[in-house]
Amino acid sequence: MAISGGIFDRQKEVQERLQQAPGEEARQELGLPPEVMPSRWSLRTIRASFDWMADYTLSGVWRILERDRCQLRSSRVKHYSPDPNYVDKVMYLETCLRQAADSPETHVLLFMDEMGYYRWPTAASDWQVVAPEPTRSTQPADNNRQWRLIAVLNSWSGQVDYVDGYIVGRQKVIDMYQQIETIYPHAQHIFVVQDNWSIHKHSDVTTALEDFPRIEPVWLPTYAPWLNPIEKLWRWLRQDVLKMHRLAMEWEALRRTVNAFLDQFGNGSQDLLHYVGLLGQGRLAKARRGL
């Protein structure tokens, strides 16, 4: 009992100490000036901060940390939404996800959002022998045309459907609703989760929604994009297709490439659900599973 108690005490000591910033022992271990304190832990600074670890190798320290359930973890960005009804809206979103999980044949939950992209690529790093030289464009300098998309992501299957055009405004939102009605003819209730863009609540759109009684808009808290997984689909699109693309002089080909990227999810995708965080142990993923 004494041995197990000692191990427990040391485990608690390590866990509590690592919740704090490294201290003087860590600074001395790294040979930093007195006014400079390390901001993150390393195996070396952890060993230096516990007298009883002094004779351990770094691999031995790693094994202790693994035993004590300590590991390298990514920090979490502090999210903030000014919406005073934030908690209530998140709880209702989770309720809708659970309902769709309980009755997938009759209830559908879709995440909706819009994005735009330009003909000129976004600069990014790429593997090259030397950095590419800028080239002179034969197009007018102001001919950086934009194209826009509105899409919905099925929370259960990962299916993506979209409408695109030069302008995505009231009519395109209505067109998206009409397309949803056609795609899910057997659903009794369709939740469409969306942000608070003024177009979504325009009188023309709300009037058109009266013709689609199965569709219920579910409003996200204001300025809370982390609650809309389709935002990560846009990130994937930008990362794999739009950054450093070579189609600035082939506008139609660029649009076809973007559409082809989205079309690959036309029949659903478990990989996409995992990428956007709807599979796993996150809050929305658990609600999606009915937990």
pLDDT in tens, 101-120: 999 999 999 999 999 999 88
What average pLDDT does range 48-60 have in this prediction? Answer: 94
Question: What is the pLDDT at residue 130?
Answer: 72
Average pLDDT on 173-189 reads 97
**What pLDDT is attached to residue 2?**
41
Reported as a pLDDT band with limits 50, 70 and 90, residue 3 is very low
Give residue 217's pLDDT. Answer: 98
| pTM for the structure as a whole | 0.75
- Sheet of 146-154, strands arranged across: 160-165, 146-154, 107-118, 189-194, 215-219
pLDDT confidence tier of residue 142, bands split at 50, 70 and 90: low
Share of the chain above pLDDT 70, in %: 92
* Residues belonging to the chain: 291
With a cut of 80, say whether residue 4 has pLDDT above it: no
pLDDT of residue 151: 98
Whether 1 has a pLDDT exceeding 50, the answer reads no
CA 73, 79, 85, 89 dihedral sign is negative
Q: Does residue 63 carry a pLDDT above 50?
A: yes
What number is the average pLDDT over the span 48-63? 94
Domain boundaries, the chain: 2-67, 86-122+144-288
Given this model, what pLDDT does residue 72 score? Answer: 79
pLDDT per position as a tens digit, 203-247: 999 999 999 999 999 999 999 999 999 999 999 999 999 988 888
Q: How far is CA 149 from CA 71, 203, 255, 258, in A?
A: 40, 21, 11, 10
Q: Is the confidence at residue 290, as pLDDT, over 90?
A: no
Strands 146-154 and 160-165: antiparallel
Q: Answer whether residue 7 shows pLDDT above 90.
A: no
- CATH class in words for 86-122+144-288: alpha beta
Report whether 204 contacts 196 (CB < 8 A).
no
Banded pLDDT at 198 (limits 50, 70, 90) = very high
Q: Is the pLDDT of residue 141 over 70?
A: no
Q: Please state, for a pLDDT cut of 90, what percent of the chain lies above it.
A: 70
Span 235-253, pLDDT tens digits: 999 999 998 888 888 889 9
Confidence of residue 50 (pLDDT cuts 50, 70, 90): very high
